[in-house]
Amino acid sequence: MSGIEETESQSQHGDQPVLGPVAAKGPKRFGVMPDLSKIPAGARERLARLAGDVPEWGVSNVDARVLAESANPEADLDIGPLGSSQPVPPLSPPLPQDEESSRSPEELDDDDFDVEGLAADDTPLDLGSGGSLIESAGSASEPAIADDPPEVPNRQLSAASVVPQLSDESSHSSDTPLPAPSVGSAPSSTNPTWNDDVPLPEEPDFYADEPSYFDEPYPDAQPSRGETRAAPNSSPIGGFPEPAIASLSASADEVRMQAEAHLVKLVGRADAKLREDQWLAIKALVMDHSRALVVQRTGWGKSAVYFVATALLRSQGHGPTVIISPLLALMRDQISAAERAGIRAVTINSANVTQWDEIQGQIRSGEVDVLLCSPERLNNPDFRDQVLPRLAHDAGLVVVDEAHCISDWGHDFRPDYRRIRTLLAELRPGIPVLATTATANERVSLDIAEQLSTSGGSLTDVTVLRGGLDRESLHLAVISLPDTTQRVAWIVDALNHLSGSGIVYCMTVSAAHEVTEQLRSAGLDVAAYTGRTDPDERAVLEQQLKDNEVKALIATSALGMGFDKPDLTFVIHLGAPSSPIAYYQQVGRAGRGVARASAVLLPGSEDRAIWDYFGSLAFPSEQQVREVISLLEAAQTHGHGPISIPQLESRVDLKRSRLEMMLKVLDVDGAVKRVKGGWVATRQQWTYDGERYRRVEAARVAEQNAMLQYASTGQCRVAFLRSCLDDPDLRADFRCGRCDNCGGIALPAQVSEASLATTTAAAATPGIEITPRKMWPTNMAALGVQLAGRLSPDELAEEGRAIARIDGLGWSNDLRDLLSPRTPDGETPIRLRTAAAQVLASWPELGNCEGVVSVRSLTRPQLVEHLASGLASYLKLPYIGSIGPVQGQEPDRHDVNSAMRLASVAGRLDLELSPAARAGLPGRSVLLIDDYTDSGWTLTVAARLLRQAGAAQVYPFVLAQY
């Protein structure tokens, strides 16, 4: 050991322990005084009070946006002279380097980043080159919200609106940062006050007896915005007898009376009346047997349209309604609503395969009025070949719910939704079709209408009904705080003072779980809800929130479209979605059945990195796509039949999530087909539509820039979002009077000392578990690696530890900075040395360890060497050597699938131990050190080498887990 190491050992291992929690210092806080010239005169008296007091949460007449100065850095605990810390550059996602030394953003576990949906069977996909899995684009150009916004006319759908128009003003650089917090004079040192005396507004009387799914009354008729056109004329499908349909001789007035009678039964109110656009949609479906697109705000009553139409069509002898719905949660709400209205509804999904035969029998016998299925079911071989043909012939109505998913311009595009076009083309003549959504701008609406049309794109057979999207109950605000700890502390204060219950959205699975634990440590009754949550547990959590048994669900976008709780009083976003349209869709969960609800955005500096991660999951290059098609064709030529995805993984350098999504797109395009046992090529001609992918990517970038503009705009936030959605009812002079910029909501300017102390303590505790790999990937022999099945017990690593996940909060910020490609190789920063030592100190199994081994890095050798030798000195254990790449090996790619990653690791690592170290290894336990882990194969192979050399146990430790 060097002299430095001896000094370090002395300082680390005195009689008194040197490790403990990092001391937290309270941050300086600053309030910002609004510009007096920009607020109403009547607000100035209240404004004057802000100089010495903290604004309350509630309705206000002043601009009470909160801006704060960065907190003082925490005091770092130097655990000894392992060296000085390196300066930390700005945040950016790590790029591929060597082994586990750094990595591509694509190496992140896809389940860590929830996207809209995930609950049924699928995830959305962006087709852009670098496009996002979450959002493609709504409006390509950024809305121009100036002091006097331009008039926004009722727009007509046109083909020109499909192509994003990117002006100089709208096409900002992708490096545009989030707006930095402003700094003003220091406010009062008192803790923030909240308006505890303002009760939650009572639910209006007209909701008292109304089923919760239909969360708004149906008042007097509104002006029509649609035009009913002729019904389609297509050829029937052979093989099934024509259903017996009673002729409809009633007049429009008589049918409307019948429809409103069904509505009364549906909502439980004798005075219920259809909106004019509801009636126009029902008339198009029931009387004209045509196709309709309804784009209306959340809570408008779109579900009433298809349930009333179902009742009318069933009374005429038509077959069941088929509703294609993206979420199991949404299906549960729809089934409950149907049952309350006396409509018999069932669902076919991946969770009830054993009941499919029984359900099909009920459908054939006429016992079912509504069948709900996910779009993914449409391409399940059994469902597609056995169930779908009969439904396509016998259905009385087909409904495409959340229809923006059908458009690759929509914020939640899903490849499986594009299969609906094939279903529609196969329908028996005269079967009406309804598409509904609350989040489609003009371009997306046109795209959906064109897919509904059977008249060659002329739209003469599609009724398009678009209405105003304003939600008068929503009060929008943006709060800029300097770090995640303060943002979580602000949420603690908010949940302690806001009435009712709500949702706190996080951008990643890890963040959702970390925030949940921090809020629980503050005494709040909350629960995590993500794409990894068991489906049965999701149903329980949804019901607990509906029953107000929890204060909030801390959720990813897995809790999204269609979740129905009319009295939800707040939605808080910790981090910004990459699309204003997606943001408005999520805040639309709140305020559907109460007079006022708060929607607060807490943007963070890490938002851009997460957007960029999703941007890295674009549709693969043409070369990669052609390679997959060629492999499938070659397999068929040689008589091998269908190829499974695990088998394809060993032949193409695509991660499984991208490979699956690519195959779904190719399936929709007709180039491949899913069959029992895997995938086959159709040998149909196929063209790589690179131009479309580039247009979608351009729209995605514009959407991100628009989201940055929303966070920083000083104009009406509701007008901004409505403009993004091309709201036809938006007036040029519209001001909501409800957002922070219009003076309609007041927020506290600080976080409380108690909440900050709680979240600081929780965030300062490092340490997560790393589960060892136990199975080798399938078909490794095709890559020349003779590894298969389970790892034997004498090859396994023990459960490991890391300081934190890279996509989380707290320590994750330090780890992202350290592993950024812009950060030069160097010694371990002091804060991370402290965190590493804390993790080891709380790991009881390490008491058995007798030596330390590192994984030598080609790209960050100094960091790993410094970390391993320092921790060995801290533990008073010998640093016995390393495991490293064999001579002449270059750093490998990390943006490949699991099988290829293992193949690269298995062939290049070797023990680098002296003869004495090898001789002393058998029967001993060792600590294995690396800087980070992503796929897990480097640690698995390294541990296997040590176990094969005689080590009794191997305990992996890394700074970060991806």
Question: Binning pLDDT at 50, 70 and 90, where does residue 61 land?
Answer: very low
Domain(s) of CATH 1.10.10.10: residues in the chain: 620-692
Model confidence at 932: pLDDT above 50: yes
CA distance 425 to 237: 10
Residue-by-residue DSSP string for 78-100: --S-S-PPPPP---------STT
Look-up of token digits 């939650």: 200
- Quote the pLDDT of residue 888: 61
Summarize the confidence of residues 893-916 as an average pLDDT.
83
> Considering the chain, what is the average pLDDT of its residues?
74
CA distance 625 to 690: 12
* H helices present in 427-534, as ranges: 442-452, 484-497, 509-521
Question: Binning pLDDT at 50, 70 and 90, where does residue 650 land?
Answer: confident
163-167, 247-251, 364-368, 445-449: least confident range? 163-167
- Write the CATH number of the domain with boundaries 218-233+252-466: 3.40.50.300
CA distance 388 to 394: 10
pLDDT tens digits for 156-169? 333 333 333 333 33
Summarize the confidence of residues 782-787 as an average pLDDT.
85
113-122, 257-266, 728-737: least confident range? 113-122
**Under 8 Å between Cβ of 480 and 67:** yes
* Residue 393, helix vs strand vs coil: helix
Model confidence at 352: pLDDT above 80: no
CA distance 877 to 596: 61
Question: Binning pLDDT at 50, 70 and 90, where does residue 393 land?
Answer: confident
Q: What does the angle CA 252 – CA 258 – CA 261 come to, to the nearest 5 degrees? A: 140
185-194, 572-581, 814-823, 943-952: least confident range? 185-194
Most confidently predicted of 30-34, 326-330, 446-450, 859-863:
859-863
Most confidently predicted of 56-65, 209-218, 258-267, 564-573:
564-573
Model confidence at 465: pLDDT above 90: yes
- Global pTM reads 0.68
Look-up of token digits 């943007």: 603
b/e for 655-668, b at 16 or more Cβ within 10 A? bbbbbbbbbbbbbb
Partners of 571 in the beta sheet?
A: 503, 599
In what side-by-side order are the strands of the sheet with 526-529?
66-67, 474-480, 597-602, 570-574, 502-506, 552-555, 526-529
For residue 281, what are the contacts with CB-CB under 8 A and spacing of at least 6?
A: 226, 292, 294, 305, 309, 434, 463, 465
Model confidence at 28: pLDDT above 50: no
pLDDT tens digits for 788-804? 889 999 999 999 999 99
31-40, 330-339, 606-615: least confident range? 31-40
- Quote the pLDDT of residue 950: 94
- Quote the pLDDT of residue 422: 74
Look-up of token digits 């068929």: 636
237-241, 395-399, 473-477, 581-585: least confident range? 237-241
Cα torsion 97, 99, 102, 106: sign: positive
- Quote the pLDDT of residue 791: 93
Summarize the confidence of residues 575-579 as an average pLDDT.
92
Beta-carbon count within 10 A of 939 CB: 26
Between residues 403 and 112, which one has the greater pLDDT? Answer: 403
Residue-by-residue DSSP string for 272-317: ----HHHHHHHHHHHTS--EEEEE--TTS-HHHHHHHHHHHHHHTT
- Give the HSE-up count for residue 661: Cα atoms under 13 Å, Cβ half-sphere: 22
Of 3.40.50.1000, 3.40.50.300, 3.30.2270.10, 3.40.50.2020, which CATH number belongs to 764-961? 3.40.50.2020
Domain(s) of CATH 3.40.50.2020: residues in the chain: 764-961
- Write the CATH number of the domain with boundaries 620-692: 1.10.10.10
Model confidence at 53: pLDDT above 50: no
CA distance 400 to 417: 9
Summarize the confidence of residues 25-36 as an average pLDDT.
30
Question: What angle separates helix 898-906 from helix 937-948, to the nearest 10 degrees?
Answer: 40
CA distance 362 to 369: 10
- Quote the pLDDT of residue 557: 86
- Helices (H) and strands (E) in the chain — how many of each? 28, 23
Model confidence at 118: pLDDT above 70: no
Model confidence at 608: pLDDT above 80: yes
Beta-carbon count within 10 A of 499 CB: 15
- Quote the pLDDT of residue 917: 92
- Quote the pLDDT of residue 564: 76
Question: What angle separates helix 484-497 from helix 753-763, to the nearest 10 degrees?
Answer: 130
Summarize the confidence of residues 469-485 as an average pLDDT.
91
Instruction: State percent of the chain over pLDDT 90.
Output: 35
- Quote the pLDDT of residue 310: 93
For residue 567, what are the contacts with CB-CB under 8 A and spacing of at least 6?
A: 203, 500, 593, 594
Question: Binning pLDDT at 50, 70 and 90, where does residue 847 land?
Answer: confident
Question: Binning pLDDT at 50, 70 and 90, where does residue 719 land?
Answer: very high
Model confidence at 618: pLDDT above 80: no
Model confidence at 838: pLDDT above 80: yes
Residue-by-residue DSSP string for 451-480: HH-SSTT--TTEEEEE-----TTEEEEEEE
- Structural tokens at position 430: 């005269």
Question: Binning pLDDT at 50, 70 and 90, where does residue 242 land?
Answer: very low
106-115, 237-246, 890-899: least confident range? 106-115
Summarize the confidence of residues 130-150 as an average pLDDT.
33
Write the single-letter amino acid at 959.
L
Between residues 225 and 639, which one has the greater pLDDT? Answer: 639
